[in-house]
Amino acid sequence: MEASITRGGWIGRAAAWAHHRHSRWALGAIAFADSSVLPVPPDILLVPMALLRPECLKSFLLICIVGSSLGAVLGYVIGYALWSTVGLPLVEFYGYTESFASYQRLVAEWGVCVIIAKAFTPVPFKIAAIAAGTIVIANEPPPGNSPAPNPTPSSRSAAA
């Protein structure tokens, strides 16, 4: 396997990172950034690390899970508290304004079910996390009662 490290280009750099002493921190940072603000999947580092160090696969996966979960929390905070300063410019930068609005309506209507089902769609997770933060998801109503409409970010900030 050492021959693959001498390979040039991004494959060689990714393989070199797999053996670097800070590779686990880099993997966690990439997983964090992927689920909050940057479109860089952790797979570009996870796959070479897993192939070159298969005995550490479980710890690599745990690092990705923790990093992605913490990044999702940041995405939620961006949607909930930093929508106008960070969230909206980020959504516009990635060109997801229209799909964000439709996804936001789905989250408002269906709540947590849509967030879970999002895993099977091409919508980037950072968009899902930010959209979840912009919607105040009410507790599930008792059977037979209709839920109260959830406020949008603009109506929530106007009420505050």
pLDDT band of residue 8 (cuts 50, 70, 90) is low
Question: By percentage, how much of the chain surpasses pLDDT 70?
Answer: 79
Whole-angstrom Cα distance, residue 88 to residue 97? Answer: 8
Check residue 28 and give its pLDDT: 95
pLDDT tens per residue across span 50-99: 988 899 999 999 999 999 999 989 988 988 888 888 888 988 888 888 88
Residue 150 contacts residue 159 (beta carbons within 8 Å): no
pTM above 0.75, yes or no: no
Regarding predicted confidence, which is higher, 142 or 86? Answer: 86
Whole-angstrom Cα distance, residue 13 to residue 48? Answer: 10
